[in-house]
Structure 1
């Protein structure tokens, strides 16, 4: 098996960045994969945690021993700003960009920031996961509710958004101040999920009112929210990524996972090859790897193609009906979420909920 080199200097630099909250535009973490002195360098910028996506990179490098890959982990909003800046200045930055905030990725493609590519494997993708042969959906992850199995009674486990509303309705609810969700101003993914909810559900306004009245917590990020539920800081978390939740659950049985049966949003992280990429053929090879059987297996193993969508194995409740799945497709419709007036109006309402 190929040995993977992790640059501890850059790893420690990433830790220091995290400790300095003032450097919000810097990487969250950086790691180098592959041997030093490899003939080709590839730069991947992604919102996916290195610990989760790293094994997928390792599998790719087994077939490319002459490649050294630099993995930069970014917050979604910062990655979007940097990618736009590189595009507008025509500077070579990343060779590959992968983001969970797919509305931002669609906007980048619309602004002519992406290189086109077609192959047998990209052509096999469903239309909803391929846009203009410049953006591709590579994962399949549900937005779930998580709860603390030790602290939430079985009768209180919310199976739907209506159940969650019922828990928050009493004036003396024990869940006041104990429900968490994304801070949608800080998290591009959180904004996308909230905006999709507003378009999808009649319950969204009621949820906002209930969150505000019961002092729900909006915070960042998936791992922190899920850890907070496991440790009892929160009892329930709403709209977090199922891939992260299931990965945490495998190490901590206090985490319970629910795919809401009224509907469950399904995210496919989007991959783009910037038009200024220096290693386009290698970036294309990486994309084809992710879409190949070997790459699909690596993504499944990393839980980025979620087994929760096939069956809720190991979780309470029956498998989710396919009619309850709401995939977020890659299309120009997503750009509505980034319209200046629409976004400001939406955020103003959200700030009223979470002052």
Structure 2
């Protein structure tokens, strides 16, 4: 299996080469060049992760050039919404882990419809209005440092984590991390989902506050911090990235919480002003096909963790999986008053510098 972590130097070099005026974090071009036929894909997925999937797709479509732009979820959402409202063409395809933001874009008529045998096969919770489709399956996991964390302290559930931070607060001061929900659309989505799903949410916030837990923006920063021992435990980390890192660094341990595990499906939308609608639908069809599924599985974006490759070696029962449904219910998280109230509460836990 080709490891995405080997592509990290490529991502870093691309990041250095992007002008500050451009909102993309990184850019790469695939396939044929100079054909005048370029499919523009904007996504929150790291290039190093998605690279083999894109290579597999362009190999099937001769004469197509694909420009892949890596964005932060919040910036991608704001840019796509601005283009939608102005009628300016931007990307042909938008893919984001901030699926609540994608539902809002579709709700505001920023997408184009498409229907096929493959889209119809998707479960109802992974498609909406024939304009938004879930293309991956990635759990939100607990990550820990195998070398530094005592075996008896490994939390198998949120209840275990809460008990650990209550019983040994001095051992974990400054050594627990999670996403910064203001900087990360994905982090906000996971935290908001927890606030409605978990009876432990309020108690965990209090425990995080008491132990000086750290919030930061990015999956890679959090996971690398755990591997290096800066953090001992990280909560609600995207499992696909953790698994990819673990393949190269045995210090990383992964737990799918047994009380429940959130499962994210990155959402794809064909933008309303797409210049290459036909190629956009070909890309969607590829991702939903058997060949695309194989490529996504190799990239760990359809996560084998759900089938038992997390620590412990047992698959997570379906009853413990909480798929984040692509539906209008996600719009509640973007209501201005609701969001501000949630962030105010969050800042009491993570007040910042």
TM-score (structure 2 length as normaliser): 0.94
Aligned equivalents of 1:48, 1:66: Cα separation in 2? 25
Q: Is the 2:226–2:233 Cα contact (8 Å) retained in structure 1?
A: yes
Q: Which residue of 1 aligns with 2:202?
A: 205
* Alignment equivalent of 1:338, drawn from 334, 337, 343: 334
* Alignment equivalent of 2:59, drawn from 62, 71, 81: 62
**Deviation for aligned residue 1:173:** 2.6
Aligned equivalents of 2:248, 2:298: Cα separation in 1? 15
Aligned equivalents of 2:175, 2:219: Cα separation in 1? 16
**Judging changes above 3 Å, is the alpha-carbon distance between structure 1 residues 198 and 47 closer, same or farther for their aligned structure 2 residues?**
same
Q: Which residue of 2 aligns with 1:95?
A: 92
Q: Which residue of 1 aligns with 2:32?
A: 35
**Deviation for aligned residue 1:40:** 1.4
Aligned equivalents of 1:28, 1:210: Cα separation in 2? 34
Aligned equivalents of 1:309, 1:318: Cα separation in 2? 9
Say which SS state the counterpart of residue 113 (structure 1) adopts: coil
Aligned equivalents of 1:37, 1:317: Cα separation in 2? 48
Aligned equivalents of 2:11, 2:226: Cα separation in 1? 30
Q: Is the 2:83–2:89 Cα contact (8 Å) retained in structure 1?
A: yes
Aligned equivalents of 1:187, 1:239: Cα separation in 2? 12
**Judging changes above 3 Å, is the alpha-carbon distance between structure 1 residues 39 and 295 closer, same or farther for their aligned structure 2 residues?**
same
* Alignment equivalent of 1:242, drawn from 224, 230, 239: 239
* Alignment equivalent of 2:305, drawn from 301, 304, 308: 308
Alignment of 1:235-274 (within 5 A): 235-274=232-271
* Alignment equivalent of 2:187, drawn from 179, 186, 190: 190
Say which SS state the counterpart of residue 271 (structure 2) adopts: coil
Query: Could you report, residue by residue, the CA deviation over 1:82-127 in whole angstroms, capped at 9, with x for unpaired residues?
Result: 0000100001100000000000000000000000000111011111
Q: Which residue of 2 aligns with 1:214?
A: 211
Aligned equivalents of 1:55, 1:274: Cα separation in 2? 23
Runs of 4+ off more than 4 Å: 8-13
* Alignment equivalent of 2:316, drawn from 301, 316, 320: 320
Q: Is the 1:10–1:31 Cα contact (8 Å) retained in structure 2?
A: no
Q: Which residue of 2 aligns with 1:51?
A: 48
Query: Could you report, residue by residue, the CA deviation over 1:176-231 in whole angstroms, capped at 9, with x for unpaired residues?
Result: 11000000000000000000000001100001111111100000100110010001
Q: Is the 1:46–1:98 Cα contact (8 Å) retained in structure 2?
A: yes
Aligned equivalents of 2:148, 2:219: Cα separation in 1? 20
**Deviation for aligned residue 1:36:** 1.9
Q: Which residue of 1 aligns with 2:350?
A: 354
Is residue 2:165 matched to residue 1:168? yes
Q: Is the 1:103–1:335 Cα contact (8 Å) retained in structure 2?
A: yes
Query: Which has the larger displacement, 251-260 or 37-46?
Result: 37-46
Query: Which has the larger displacement, 59-68 or 8-17?
Result: 8-17
**Deviation for aligned residue 1:17:** 5.0
Query: Could you report, residue by residue, the CA deviation over 1:263-313 in whole angstroms, capped at 9, with x for unpaired residues?
Result: 000000000001100000100000000000000000000000001111135
**Judging changes above 3 Å, is the alpha-carbon distance between structure 1 residues 58 and 154 closer, same or farther for their aligned structure 2 residues?**
same
Q: Which residue of 1 aligns with 2:4?
A: none
Q: Which residue of 2 aligns with 1:3?
A: none
TM-score (structure 1 length as normaliser): 0.93
Aligned length: 344
**Deviation for aligned residue 1:11:** 7.9
Aligned equivalents of 1:348, 1:72: Cα separation in 2? 32
> Can you give the 5+ residue segments of structure 1 that lack an aligned partner in the other structure?
1-5
Aligned equivalents of 1:324, 1:170: Cα separation in 2? 26
Q: Is the 2:119–2:288 Cα contact (8 Å) retained in structure 1?
A: yes
**Judging changes above 3 Å, is the alpha-carbon distance between structure 1 residues 201 and 278 closer, same or farther for their aligned structure 2 residues?**
same
Say which SS state the counterpart of residue 252 (structure 1) adopts: coil
